[in-house]
Amino acid sequence: MQDGLYVALSAQVALERRLNTIADNVANAGTIGFRATGMKFEDVISGLGQKSVSFASSGDTFMSTATGALRETGNPFDFAIQGDAWFGIETPAGTVMTRDGRFTMLDTGDLVTLQGYPVLDAGGAPIQLDPQNGPPTSGADGSLRQKGQLVGALGLYNFDAGENFIRYANSGIVPMGAPEPVIDRNDIGVAQGFLEESNVNPMLEITRLISVQRNFENIAASIRSTDQTLGDAISTLGSK
């Protein structure tokens, strides 16, 4: 009987973690370049044979790879990646991957994010523009030109986010290993004057949220019932 309580408790822990990821997804439905978090759960077996008990694991997170819709802005410092790649930015946490292409140019010519983090080229170096020559023009391959002269290129990277990945500033992901620069890929490019929207489907996430809440309530009711049954059994046996 106590095993039933432990199994139900493990399910509640798993549902609570799923609830937190769904809430985070909904909160970032309007965040540029955000990739939704999913979760997967496995059975954890305790004991052997007929005495074995199956518990729910606390779950592992994974990142959705679905691409968000592109929105045209007309801003020459807005960039969206077409295909499976990421921009690289330099942060206090090291190199971070992001699909948020809202950049700007400082008076020094440094190309940076809205938070002031340097944008990297394919070699991992900060991109330096000429502040006197205005906004750059980007080719589909990410090359940057000012007044027709090649001045640099946006670095595009691939990396493995892995399970239980670490976020940085909403849309950023801290890579577990060294990201690999994307070179000579016809299926990957850059669209200037566009931004990638979040890939979160708010209606789907809200539906999942309702489902998780109902399951949580059902398990709570089951725990109360099991606890009452255990209490009745102890009371009955203790009176004999």
**pLDDT for the residue 81:** 97
With H, G, I as helix, E, B as strand and everything else as coil, classify residue 211: helix
Residues 189 and 86 in one domain: yes
Residues 204 and 185 in one domain: no
- The Cα 166–Cα 177 span in angstroms is 12
Residues 179 and 78 in one domain: yes
CA distances 87 to 90, 102, 128, Å, are 10, 11, 16
Residues 132 and 178 in one domain: yes
- The Cα 31–Cα 168 span in angstroms is 13
**pLDDT for the residue 33:** 97
**pLDDT for the residue 218:** 74
Residues 192 and 205 in one domain: no
Residues 57 and 147 in one domain: no
Within 13 Å and on the Cβ side, how many CA atoms surround 76? 11
Residues 117 and 183 in one domain: yes
Residues 164 and 76 in one domain: yes
Which tens digit of pLDDT belongs to each residue from 14-24? 778 888 899 99
Residues 135 and 164 in one domain: yes
Q: Which domain holds residue 104?
A: 70-196
Query: Which residues does 49 contact at the CB level (< 8 Å), separation at least 6?
Result: none
User: pTM of this prediction?
Assistant: 0.81
Which tens digit of pLDDT belongs to each residue from 77-128? 999 999 999 999 999 999 999 999 999 999 999 999 999 999 999 999 999 9
Residue 200: Cβ-neighbour burial (10 angstroms; 0-12, 13-18, 19+) = buried
Q: Are 216 and 14 in contact (CB under 8 A)?
A: no
Q: Give the count of domains, the chain.
A: 2
Q: Are 46 and 53 in contact (CB under 8 A)?
A: yes
- pLDDT digit of tens for each residue in the chain (240 aa)? 455 555 566 666 777 888 889 999 999 999 999 999 988 766 554 444 445 455 555 678 899 999 999 999 999 999 999 999 999 999 999 999 999 999 999 999 999 999 999 999 999 999 999 999 999 999 999 999 999 999 999 999 999 888 889 999 879 999 988 999 998 888 999 999 999 999 999 999 999 888 888 877 777 776 666 655 555 555 665 555
Residues 55 and 76 in one domain: no
